Structure formats: C-alpha cells, structure tokens
Homo-oligomer: A and B are copies of this chain.
Amino acid sequence: MRIVLPKGSLERATLELFEAADLPVVRSSGVDYRATIDDPRVAEVRILRPQEIPVYVAEGLFDVGITGRDWIEETSSEVVSLGELRYSKATSNPIRMVVAVAGDSEITSASELPDGVRVSSEYPELTRRYFEKLGIRADVRLSYGASEAKVPDIADCVVEITETGRALRAAGLSIIDTVLVSYTEVIANPESYQDETKRHAMGQLMTLLDGTLEARDKVLLKLNVAAEQFDAVIGVLPSAKSPTVSQLAGGGFAVESVVEKRTINLVIPALKDAGATDLLEVPIAKIVH
C-alpha cells in the first residue's frame, strides 16, 4: 500500500495514532514530506496537505489516505471510505461546515439569501454546488482564511468550518444552516479496494488503528470475588462484553473486564458495594474484539 497522511492541523494527532498503533512513521532525513513505516504491507508514505489528498487517492497515486470529509466533498473525489477516526473524546468533535451571516441580519435561513449574494469560503466548489441546489445565484469568492472577518462589508455571508461556533460568535455572526458534518476519514482508491490483497491489508490497518483509538477510552478492570458474591458482582459489570473469569487456586474467582473510562467513577464504587475485592485498574494500549 502507498499511504498519504495529512500535513498540518491533523498531522501530530495522526502520527501519534500510528505510533501508538505500533506503526511508527519515520520521516526521511532532510525532507519532511517523505516517510516510511516498517511494515511489509506499506510500500510508501507521503505527508501532504489534506486539501490535495482526496484527488491523489482518487487518481490512484496512493492506495490509502487520511483527510477530512470536507475536502473529499469539495473536490468531488471518488474514493471508498474505510471509516472515521475519532482521535480522542476531547478532540473527536465533528467539524461542521456552516452558512453564517451578520448577527443583526434579518435573514434566518439560507434560502432567504438574495441572488448576487457575496459569499466568502475556503470551499468554493462545494459552496457553488450548495447554492445551485438552493437555486440562488451566488458570487462565491475563494477565501484564504478568517472569512468571518469579512462580514458584512466585504462579504454578505460565509461558508466556513467550525467546531464550537465560538469564532463565528465572537465575530458577531449567526449560523443559519449546516452544509456538512465532517470527520477525519481513512479513504481508499476504488480500484485498490477491489484488489483482494490490498483490501485485506486495509482491513488489518483499520484493525490496528481502531483498536488503538478504542483503547484510549477504556481500561482493564481486574478484581477478585468469592463464589457467593460472584453473581452480584457480574451483575454490576457493564454487559457489553462477557468478562474473562478464571478460578483462583485458593477458591473464588479472578475476573477481568474491559470498562469504559467514563463509567469507572460509578462502576468501581458499585463493584465494591457488591463484594468485589482487590480491584485494579490497568491501562491498555490496544483492544481488538
């Protein structure tokens, strides 16, 4: 597989994920856009702008790439999506692409925007298609950043991405529509995806990446329990997956179970109340079902 990874804001999180997935990306000395992964399934690694990645994957210059849904749509690229990557609970908010106008505008929905409306956007193609679908003739201009600064004197509205809406609000804009919800995705070239060997390799890659991401939100809980309290304790354990139970040499059982971090604050006290002893929380680095 030839793989292309995103340079810029997604770069650090992506490289840390591959490192944690035991697929460390080693940059070639001297040039920072070529790299290697020591894995027989990976022939080549490049680190390029996420804006350009969908086209390169669609054209077959690479078999697999990581980029945002926003750029896949902007470039209308024909690629296969292998799945989303939610780097962590803290940063896994999807990015929304929204239409926003001046806060004191009387317009409250995109369809009210008049013909000739001046639109500033870093996504001109997607924006054009959006307004075409609405039947509005828009004067779309390529923005090189900080589009929100242009309303109302330089543009009448913006089509911008936002995570929390804070920057838009701070600039005094109101969101009147959501064009797209965008996650980071792993995409594949359609032809490569038809190749059985490559598709198997892609599946294994996703196993490692997904297993690493899932482990970030979970821990391994170990506990001992006497025979009498066994059922009570098992009853308290979240049921998503059956726990691993082994008999102790001295009687009673050792139980191991993977639990979501965000429920630990309730599960541990409940287990203790139910009779579990010697509870241990052990961090895990990867989990594969």
CB–CB A146/B7 < 8 A: yes
CB–CB A261/B149 < 8 A: no
A281 and B279 contact, Cβ closer than 8 Å, known pairs A33-B146, A49-B145, A154-B56: no
A276 nearest CB across to chain B (Å): 8
Query: Does A133 have its Cβ within 8 Å of any Cβ on chain B?
Result: no
How many chain A residues touch B (CB < 8 A): the figure is 77
A281 and B289 contact, Cβ closer than 8 Å, known pairs A266-B39, A268-B207: no
CB–CB A207/B282 < 8 A: no
Residue of B nearest to A23 (CB): B265
Interface string of A232-249 (1 = CB under 8 A from B): 000000000110111111
Residue of B nearest to A212 (CB): B281
CB–CB B49/A146 < 8 A: yes
Given the complex, which residues of B lie within 8 Å of A150, measured CB to CB? Answer: 48
Given the complex, which residues of B lie within 8 Å of A258, measured CB to CB? Answer: 278, 280
A213 nearest CB across to chain B (Å): 13
CB–CB A249/B241 < 8 A: no
CB–CB A285/B149 < 8 A: no
Listed stretches A108-116, A163-171, A182-190; interface member = A163-171
Q: Out of B56, B144, B208, which one reaches A52, CB within 8 Å?
A: B144
Q: 19 interchain pairs (CB within 8 A)?
A: A7-B145, A21-B265, A22-B261, A31-B149, A31-B170, A46-B149, A48-B149, A51-B144, A56-B154, A61-B153, A203-B269, A208-B265, A208-B269, A211-B281, A220-B280, A220-B282, A268-B286, A277-B289, A278-B287
Residues of chain A whose beta carbon lies under 8 Å from any beta carbon of chain B: 7, 21-23, 29-31, 33-34, 38-40, 46, 48-49, 51-52, 55-56, 61, 141, 143-146, 149-150, 153-154, 164, 166, 170-171, 203-204, 207-208, 211, 215, 219-220, 222, 224, 241-242, 244-250, 253-254, 256, 258, 261-262, 264-266, 268-269, 272, 277-289
Having A33-B146, A49-B144, A282-B282, one finds 12 other A-B pairs with CB under 8 Å, namely: A22-B261, A22-B262, A29-B164, A31-B149, A33-B149, A49-B145, A204-B269, A244-B248, A246-B246, A246-B248, A246-B254, A282-B285
